[in-house]
Structure 1
Amino acid sequence: MRRYDLARQLFRSGTSIGANVFEAQHPESRQDFVHKMKIAAKEAAETNFWLLICQHRPGYPPCDHLIAKLDEINRLLSAIISSSKKAKPD
């Protein structure tokens, strides 16, 4: 895989996390909110995949700090999803 292709995939999945969280701020219902947060979590998982590929490619810049930040994001998304599911119905 070429660097450009990898960078494009990282950009797409990484920005999709934020886009879905942003969109979740104006949900039609709690289910819609949870759904958008789950999509953000899936995009975070995909971003993690691409970062792991970068991590194991010779000549690519180190990305351990990005993987650590993404772990924080995943924990936050999981907590938000879990607490939103437990909240009282609309």
Structure 2
Amino acid sequence: MGKSILKEKSYAFVILVVKLSQSLVTEKKEYVLRKQLLRIGTAIGAVIRETEFALSKADFIHKMSISLKEVNEPLYWLDLRKDTDYVPEEAHLIHFNLNKELVSMSVSAIKTTKSRN
């Protein structure tokens, strides 16, 4: 696969999620939201990494479709975190915008692969 912007950005997102989960515990003593964010946030990078070793075009599309589902879920948890006043708007936007970018990139990867013969 070589250098993959999607892989790099998903890893950067996972790093942000891990740091966020640490701050939720140390600063807010919040464990349920932390667990959900950490579970889904770390899954994103793992599933995207899996696509590197897809056995075929169909397998790649399948794995990317799974990653798209995984990438979309944190948007809910990030909004919940903001709307319950766990983080200020500026901090929320950093995570949220990177997450939205991952969704767009995943959709693009699937569409591009489907269009290739």
Q: TM-score range by the shorter chain?
A: 0.7 to 0.9
- Secondary structure of 1:73 counterpart: helix
- Secondary structure of 1:67 counterpart: helix
Deviations 1:15-62 (A, max 9, x none): 11111110010011111111111111111111111101101003x023
Q: CA deviation at 1:72?
A: 0.9
Match 1:67 to one of 68, 91, 96: 96
1:78 and 2:104 aligned: no
Q: Distance in 1 between matches of 2:102 and 2:65?
A: 12
Structure 1 or 2: larger helix share? Answer: 2
The TM-score normalised by the length of structure 2 is 0.69
The TM-score normalised by the length of structure 1 is 0.88
Among all aligned residue pairs of Structure 1 and Structure 2, give the percentage whose two residues are the same amino acid: 33
Q: CA deviation at 1:3?
A: 2.2
1:17 and 2:44 aligned: yes
1:29 and 2:56 aligned: yes
State whether residues 55 and 64 of structure 1, in contact with CA within 8 Å, keep that contact through their aligned partners in structure 2.
Answer: no
1:53 and 2:74 aligned: no
Q: Distance in 2 between matches of 1:9 and 1:77?
A: 21
Match of 2:67 in 1: 40
Q: Distance in 2 between matches of 1:21 and 1:11?
A: 16
Moved over 6 A (4+): none
1:8 and 2:8 aligned: no
Structure 2: stretches of 5+ with no match in the other structure: 1-28
- Secondary structure of 1:3 counterpart: coil
